[in-house]
A = this chain, B = another copy of it.
Amino acid sequence: MTSEASPSGGVATSSDDGASRVLAGITDVAALAGVSTATVSRALRGLPNVSTKTRERVQQAADQLGYVASASASSLASGRTRTIGVVTPYIGRWFFALLIDGIQESLREAGYGVLLYTIGEHGEDRGRAFDPDSLRKRVEGIIILSVPVTRSEIAALEATHIPTALAGFTASGFPSVRIDDSEAAGVATKHLIGLGHTRIAHIGAKDEVGLRFPVPQARHQAYLSALRGAGIEPDPELDRIGDFSITSGAEAMAELLSLADPPTAVFAGSDEMAFGALDTARKAGLHVPEDLSIIGIDDHEFAPLFDLTTVAQPVRLQGRLVAELLLESLIARDQVAQVADPDSDTDGVAANGRPQPRTIVVPTKLILRGSTAPPGRPRQLPTRTPNEGRAPTL
């Protein structure tokens, strides 16, 4: 198992007879162990019908030769690539990075590899990158991260029949995991309303036509109805469009500040836009939260540093979950392949025999920090002593 401190054999292909010995193949192992390649294959993969003694002998031979099965060969023979494609806009963004991290965790445990497909932030080189055909025959499943997807892309995806799962948004027909964007946005907006604000701005994101990406719209709608629910008529001037980036938040804030009647509070659709807004506000001489309250969504790694009130979402968890959803579809597919009769009471199976895609909604939580307060006067916060002098053990 562990190739740690075993001085004999292992890792370094041991005694290199010859200059650069070619990698050991299954036949070498078979020969060394004195069995057939079929038995080696079965033994190493833990299949039944191999006697303990034989299995050990094979294992030993494999270790000694530093044998590891060729991924291509076993994929070709078995039809299973043990690889999942992850399509993501831009991994430089905290949200995606953390998602991928979670995905990777789950997938690794299940013995799957992660093939990364980043497409431009706004899908610049989309055509080439997200051609499902380029994924097909290379991955067993696909996970798409919060990427605006066109109708035709969805169609193409479905045509490939590759199990697919979505994280951060939903599209009918696919399993997915996400937060309740309406609720999160509602909570955020109502928090500001509850503090007494009435001129509440929104920095959202563009709703690109033709794209299936309901997140910005859901948050926007929730913002609007929260306002209306409180008897506040939304002011279109306070409705700004960003692109989830820091700079777009900053620009939107600049616009808001130049208004004749600027807002006293801002709900940003993401923490990163909130950071940008915060920065712009401060540089304009405004005090947060005295002069302006700001709330975001995410609970970004940097939110504590900006003392930003926000609606937290568990990102890494969503990554883990979406990976598990995908793995579910994978084994479901195998199941179908094996037994084609609808006897076992598989719940939630649609008419076509394919399991109804599950969508998991993970909870969000309002995190109160110092960026929000009633209009005109600061919110009371316990003065935080920095680190309580607790020196880390060196």
Contacts and interface: CB of A to CB of B under 8 A. Distances in A.
Interface of A: 2-4, 11-13, 20, 23, 66, 68-73, 75-76, 81, 83, 86, 90-94, 97-98, 100-101, 104, 108, 113-116, 118, 125, 127-129, 131-134, 136-138, 152, 155-156, 159, 161, 241, 246, 248, 250-251, 254-255, 257-258, 275-276, 279-280, 283-284, 301-302, 304-306, 384, 386-387, 389-392, 394
A116 to B, nearest CB: 5
Given A72-B81, A90-B101, A283 B115 contact: no
A2 B127 contact: yes
A100 B391 CA distance: 34
A137 B71 contact: yes
A193 B108 CA distance: 48
A254 to B, nearest CB: 4
Given A100-B91, A156-B12, A392 B251 contact: yes
A209 B126 CA distance: 45
Nearest to A103: B116
A108 B91 contact: no
Contact of A97 (B91, B132, B276): B91
A251 B76 contact: no
A115 B115 contact: yes
Contact of A72 (B3, B66, B76, B129): B76
A297 B94 CA distance: 20
B133 A66 contact: yes
Contacts of A137: 23, 68-72
B108 A129 contact: yes
A101 B72 contact: no
A312 to B, nearest CB: 16
Contacts of A93: 97
A133 B10 CA distance: 10
Contact of A155 (B11, B156, B305): B11
Nearest to A16: B159
A305 B116 contact: no
A66 B75 CA distance: 21
Contacts of A108: 125, 128-129
A127 B3 contact: yes
A105 to B, nearest CB: 8
